[in-house]
Structure 1
Amino acid sequence: MAAPRAYLRLVSPVWNAGFGGARGLSGMVAPEGTQKKKRTLGQYLADHFSDVQALREYLTQRQMSKVHQKNWIPTNVKNQYGPYVAGAFFILKLGGSVKFQGQEWIGPNGYSQFRQGFLKFQTVPIEAVDASGCALNYNGLDNLLPLKELQTLSLQRCPHVDDWCLSHLYPLAHSLRELSLAGCPRVSERGLACLHHFQNLRRLDISSLPAVSNPSLTQILVEEMLPSCEVLGVDWTHGMKLAPEEPPQDTARPVPA
């Protein structure tokens, strides 16, 4: 009996010091599980993305994928209900507004009502579209090109409208009378040059285009390209200061004493 007790006295300090008791043993049994629980978001990103650029590209691709989904409309909708209903569905789904000939504007709030009675609009042309601020892109414009009676189109502040989009609009050149591109961050001089087909335009807004390097010169060139169109862009009075008025001079001769 003495030998086992001595053995236990000898092993006990080694056990406690070397392995930290039961806690130390559990740490050696399942170290991987414990580490997985303690993994942080930074460690996860470091494992899946080699650098910040790869993460940025991944997020960009994911965002563009969502934009493409928003700009897609089933082909059977166009074939079954016609271009006017399909175009209206597309714009209202994006959060824009449409106006049929002889009708009031239909906005995002009226989307559900439009779905209930859309059959009566199958033969009614769309004359105006307001897609301001919508996630409209190059592919989404295909839903508007069949609207041959479209007269007014507002694309202002659309983040994905670029020069390629403007080159894609030429099927609307005959009918379009008003076009707004104000605040589109990706529209440059190259895209505006594509508007030379739109000789029937009467009003064009190209104000606040950050990608245009010389707004004043660009507006002059667009005005020459579209002589019958009112071009809104540079505020010519902005930054101009009037010369201070000089105080009136007393021209009366002094009276001699």
Structure 2
Amino acid sequence: MAAPRAFPRLVPPKWNGGRRGFRDLSGVVTPEGNQRKRRTLLQFLSDHFYDVEFLREYLLRKQMQKVHLENGSYVRVQDTHGPDIAGAYFILRHGGAVKFRDKEWVRSDGWKRFIAEVSKFQAVPVEAIDASGCAINYHGLGNLLSLKELQSLSLQRCPHVDDWCLSRLYPLGGSLQELSLAGCPRITERGLACLHHLPNLRRLDISDLPAVDFPGLTQILVEEMLPNCEVVGTDWAQGLRQGPEQQPQHTAGPAPAQPLARESRRPLWSV
């Protein structure tokens, strides 16, 4: 039996030189052309990728290569303008914010203004950095380790900050007083144990760490490790098993009716 004939889809008429008619039908896509494009795409994918998992690994590898290139070392800038300017360049390139001593916050939208005023900031140290959500990894942190007067560092929701990154922060132990790790998905208890190299910490935010299995117990251990630091972000009792006396009491509705106990009645004929 012959296949049904496919009719092309016509486009609305267009004006052509004062006469109304069909000027160009080259853009009309027929069902045969649509199938040909679909076969071409499938052939391309089958020639270059064996399966979906291989394609996923390829895209992930390309993304990691891009992150690695963006976390290069700013050695040339550091040699020319000093470590504070190099660290500020690195953070602003990633979309973060930098605060120099006795200056206002400089954010990525003020990049051109910062470039024009580099000579003014060259002799001023960096005292605070907000790198929330930036794609900073282990290699990129090397641009911040020379900031000898850095007091506050925020790494909230940084997707590539892991335990190895925390183990590399020890050069900042002499000045760092505030550290925020809230929302970092790759930080575990092992990484938090490396923070004993930061004895001058006064405030530490470890809230919303999905890789930490027992946040309550972890906070207790961190507080014992850093007795002069205020650890915020978790409840000390979170993750602990509650006893029967600590179970929540449901008092919203009336108490369920209890079955009436049967009365032990003696027969009337018994003495």
The bucket for the TM-score relative to the shorter chain is 0.7 to 0.9
In 1, are the aligned partners of 2:163 and 2:190 still within 8 Å (CA)?
yes
Alignment map for 1:119-138 (pairs within 5 Å) = 119-138=119-138
Q: Per-residue deviation at 1:36?
A: 8.4
SS in 2 for 1:99: strand
Instruction: Go from structure 1 to structure 2 and tell me whether the alpha carbon gap of 1:44 and 1:200 turns closer, same or farther (over 3 Å shift).
Output: same
1:63 match: 63
Deviations 1:109-150 (A, max 9, x none): 211100011111112100000000000111110110000100
Q: Per-residue deviation at 1:199?
A: 1.2
In 2, are the aligned partners of 1:155 and 1:182 still within 8 Å (CA)?
yes
Deviations 1:234-253 (A, max 9, x none): 135889857859xxxxxxxx
d(CA) in 2 for partners of 1:74, 1:129: 17
In 1, are the aligned partners of 2:179 and 2:203 still within 8 Å (CA)?
yes
Instruction: Determine whether 1:162 maps to 2:167.
Output: no
**How well do the aligned residues superpose, as a CA RMSD in angstroms?**
2.4
TM-score by length of 2: 0.73
Alignment map for 1:218-229 (pairs within 5 Å) = 218-229=218-229
SS in 2 for 1:129: strand
In 1, are the aligned partners of 2:196 and 2:226 still within 8 Å (CA)?
yes
Amino acid at match of 1:220: I
d(CA) in 2 for partners of 1:231, 1:106: 28
SS in 2 for 1:40: helix
1:114 match: 114
Alignment map for 1:1-257 (pairs within 5 Å) = 39-235=39-235
SS in 1 for 2:124: coil
Q: Please, which runs of 5 or more residues in structure 2 have no aligned partner?
A: 1-34, 240-246, 253-271
Amino acid at match of 2:162: D
SS in 1 for 2:138: coil
In 2, are the aligned partners of 1:215 and 1:233 still within 8 Å (CA)?
no
Q: Per-residue deviation at 1:74?
A: 4.0
d(CA) in 2 for partners of 1:70, 1:242: 54
Q: Please, which runs of 5 or more residues in structure 1 have no aligned partner?
A: 1-34, 246-257
SS in 2 for 1:194: helix
d(CA) in 1 for partners of 2:179, 2:249: 33
In 2, are the aligned partners of 1:205 and 1:232 still within 8 Å (CA)?
yes
More helix by share: 1
Instruction: Go from structure 1 to structure 2 and tell me whether the alpha carbon gap of 1:207 and 1:242 turns closer, same or farther (over 3 Å shift).
Output: farther
Deviates more, 1:73-82 or 1:209-218: 73-82
d(CA) in 2 for partners of 1:171, 1:154: 16
